[in-house]
Amino acid sequence: MANIFKLKNTIIGLVVAISITTLFAQKPRDISGTIIGVDGERVAKTIVVLLAGDGTEVKREETSRRGAFKFKKVSPGSYSLSIDAGESGSLMAQAEVADSNLKLGDLQLQQGADDVAGNNPVESEGAQYDPTLSSNPNEDSSDAMSDVSAIPDSTSPTSTQQEFIPDPGKDYILNELSFEIKKMTAELKYLNEELENLKALSKMWVNPLAIYSKEIIMKNGSTVFGKIVYQDESSLKVETLVGYLIINRKEIVRIVDNVVTEEQAEYVPEQVRDSYTPPPMPKLAEPKYTSPDRDQTGKYSANCVLMGNISEKKDAQGNIVFNGELKNIGGRRADFVKVDFVFRKNWSGETKTLTTFIRGGYHTFDSGITTDATLLPGATGAFELYVPHDFGSFIGYSYVVDWEEYE
């Protein structure tokens, strides 16, 4: 029991001794010295920088009038002193702070070189300082050369380069953003296609001739607008707004291919745009069977009407020939009876007019003029109109029957 007690006391004493020694060993110390220029004079008002072993700045002090400096409360360790006094010289000195204050003494600056202050006397309280620096300059040089050679060359292929390690989190975010962009692009493309389809449908209802561009003129006078989807020697299958029609070829007079042209707005200067009124579009003449309004006396007035339909054919030279017959169903003679054909050249409103006179009876007026385009009451007369090949194509026509009445 007594032995255990003695062992316990011994261990406690050793722990206390080690603790006290450690505390005293880690106590901050002071670093002091004097700066001497290349001319042998003390350098005043210059900056002395205390650097740690990794090159970071720890403290800096300014020398006094006598060139003295002092760093207080410096933790034990390896340090460097950087001094640059301009024309007075510069110096890089090593300092090792241990268990006592460090006195560097006189530090001699040198011109244009950073020298290690290994030859400077270092005084310590009770000990001579310089455990790391050699007193042999040649040995210092060889050590410095070996240190330089030991530094890895960044341009050498054997030098260690930092390897790029991608961040998985960033890659995930980029992938998600890329997926969202592709998704939005696909949706935008789909919406554009739907919009084009809607525009096509609306265009069909606003202007059906944009799709159903064939105008089929029948012998009975009717006209069918549609798109020919099938045809053979005897019939045609036509698609229209109301459905499909099967038409016998023998009942067809002609087929016109309508070319839809968009109206181009007339340029108007901006200065007169508000007060400008565009010219009216030409209007197609409506079919008429009597002359314009004139003094008519009931049943004794002339009235020329079309008998049957106007036939249309094409001769060997490519000219189109229109034939028909008129009859005067009125009670008075009609003179200079004629038929005005108004042809529609396109859908922009362009028209051309051709006129033909009938082959009727002869009549000589008091002035001596003789005409063969006269129809007595109840008489009939034929007419024929040649449309030359160079007239060009047309999409339709209307006609007006006109005549004059003389005493």
263 inside domain: no
CATH of the domain at 117: 2.60.40.10
Question: Domain check: are 142 and 224 in the same one?
Answer: no
Question: Domain check: are 44 and 144 in the same one?
Answer: yes
Higher pLDDT, 230 or 285: 230
Residue 2 has pLDDT above 80, yes or no: no
Question: Domain check: are 32 and 135 in the same one?
Answer: yes
8 inside domain: no
Provide mean pLDDT across the span 72-80.
85
Angle 197-199-200 (CA atoms, 0-180°, nearest 5)?
65
Higher pLDDT, 221 or 277: 221
Q: What is the pLDDT of residue 100?
A: 82
- Which of 118, 150, 182 is a domain's end point? 150
Residue 38 has pLDDT above 70, yes or no: yes
Distance between CA atoms of residues 51 and 74, nearest Å: 11
Higher pLDDT, 226 or 275: 226
Question: Domain check: are 36 and 143 in the same one?
Answer: yes
pTM > 0.75: no
Strands 335-344 and 223-231: what pairing?
unpaired
Residue 374 has pLDDT above 60, yes or no: yes
For the ranges 50-54, 86-90, 169-173, the lowest mean pLDDT is seen at 169-173
pLDDT category of residue 396 using cuts at 50, 70 and 90: confident
Q: How many domains would you assign to the chain?
A: 3
With CA atoms as reference, report the closest residue to 285 among 237, 228, 359, 354. 354
Q: What is the pLDDT of residue 84?
A: 87
Residue 136 has pLDDT above 80, yes or no: no
362 inside domain: yes
DSSP element (H, E) containing 139: helix 137-150
Question: Domain check: are 253 and 304 in the same one?
Answer: no
Residue 251 has pLDDT above 60, yes or no: yes
Using an 8 Å Cβ cutoff, are 307 and 327 in contact? Answer: yes
Provide mean pLDDT across the span 218-233.
86
CATH of the domain at 228: 2.30.30.100
Residues in the chain, total = 407
Residue 267 has pLDDT above 70, yes or no: no
Provide mean pLDDT across the span 26-37.
85
For the ranges 53-67, 152-166, 167-181, the lowest mean pLDDT is seen at 152-166
Distance between CA atoms of residues 44 and 42, nearest Å: 6
Provide mean pLDDT across the span 60-85.
88
356 inside domain: yes
Provide mean pLDDT across the span 243-270.
74
Question: Domain check: are 33 and 118 in the same one?
Answer: yes
Question: Domain check: are 141 and 42 in the same one?
Answer: yes
Residue 149 has pLDDT above 90, yes or no: no
First-to-final CA distance of the chain: 170
Q: Where are the alpha helices (DSSP H) in 237-284?
A: none
In terms of average pLDDT, the best of 3-7, 207-211, 234-238 is 234-238
Beta strands in 296-395 (DSSP E): 304-314, 320-328, 335-344, 351-357, 361-364, 370-374, 380-387
Provide mean pLDDT across the span 115-120.
42
Question: Domain check: are 143 and 58 in the same one?
Answer: yes
Model confidence pLDDT, tens digit, residues 287-342 = 444 444 454 455 578 889 988 888 888 888 888 999 999 999 888 899 999 999 99
Domain that holds residue 39: 28-150
45 inside domain: yes
Average confidence score pLDDT of the chain: 76
Share of the chain above pLDDT 90, in %: 17
For the ranges 191-205, 284-298, 350-364, the lowest mean pLDDT is seen at 284-298
Distance between CA atoms of residues 211 and 208, nearest Å: 6
pLDDT category of residue 173 using cuts at 50, 70 and 90: confident
Strands of 304-314's sheet in order across: 304-314, 320-328, 380-387
Share of the chain above pLDDT 70, in %: 67
Residue 203 has pLDDT above 80, yes or no: no
Which residues are CB-contacts of 229 (< 8 A; sequence separation ≥ 6)?
237, 238, 239, 244
Q: What is the pLDDT of residue 257?
A: 74
Identify the bridge partners of residue 320 per DSSP, sorted by sequence position: 314, 387
Residue 113 has pLDDT above 50, yes or no: no
Higher pLDDT, 273 or 161: 273
Residue 147 has pLDDT above 50, yes or no: no
275 inside domain: no
169 inside domain: no
Model confidence pLDDT, tens digit, residues 377-386 = 989 999 999 9
Q: What is the pLDDT of residue 296?
A: 47
Residue 156 has pLDDT above 70, yes or no: no
361 inside domain: yes
